[in-house]
Amino acid sequence: MVENRPAFLDRTYGALAHSVRRELLDALRTGPVKVTDLAAPFDISLAAVSKHVDVLEDARLVSRTAAGRTRIVTLEPLPLVGAREWIDTYRTFWEERLDALEAHLTERDRT
């Protein structure tokens, strides 16, 4: 059965699915960055980086503002909180499985 996830989770995880977009988010952790500076480390065109920023903006993970002809991109971390909270719902599941594995291995080593 597929869980009926809110649309924001679909947008968030969809945006995070591409390595370039994750790297862009990493670059924004230290503060707002001009799009041209954001694109500099990548071996893709400025237009391609701008399209990735569009996806991040659609997912509300970044905002883009104009300062004259310059576009500034800012990280908007709130959607990441929702994504983390959804993942955290599985923390107990995995902790229980790992505890059971540890108990099994400990018991096996005793015999």
pLDDT for 26 equals: 97
Q: What are the tokens at 62?
A: 């970044």
Q: Give the pLDDT confidence of 5-49 residue by residue, as tens digits.
A: 678 889 999 999 999 999 999 999 999 999 999 999 999 999 999
Beta bridge partners of 34: 72
pLDDT score recorded for residue 33: 96
pLDDT, tens only, 75-96: 999 999 989 988 888 888 889 9
Provide the terminal-to-terminal Cα distance of the chain, rounded to the nearest Å: 40
Strand order in the sheet with 70-75: 33-34, 70-75, 62-67
Domains of the chain as residue ranges with CATH: 7-110 (1.10.10.10)
Query: How many other CB atoms are found less than 10 A from the CB of residue 13?
Result: 15
On whether the CB atoms of residues 64 and 100 are closer than 8 A, the answer is no
What six digits make up the tokens of 97?
Answer: 């499985």
Can you tell me the distance from the alpha carbon of 102 to that of 96, in angstroms, rounded to the nearest whole number? 10
- Give the Cα separation of 14 and 20 in Å (integer): 12
Query: Could you tell me the maximum CA-CA distance found in the chain, to the nearest angstrom?
Result: 73
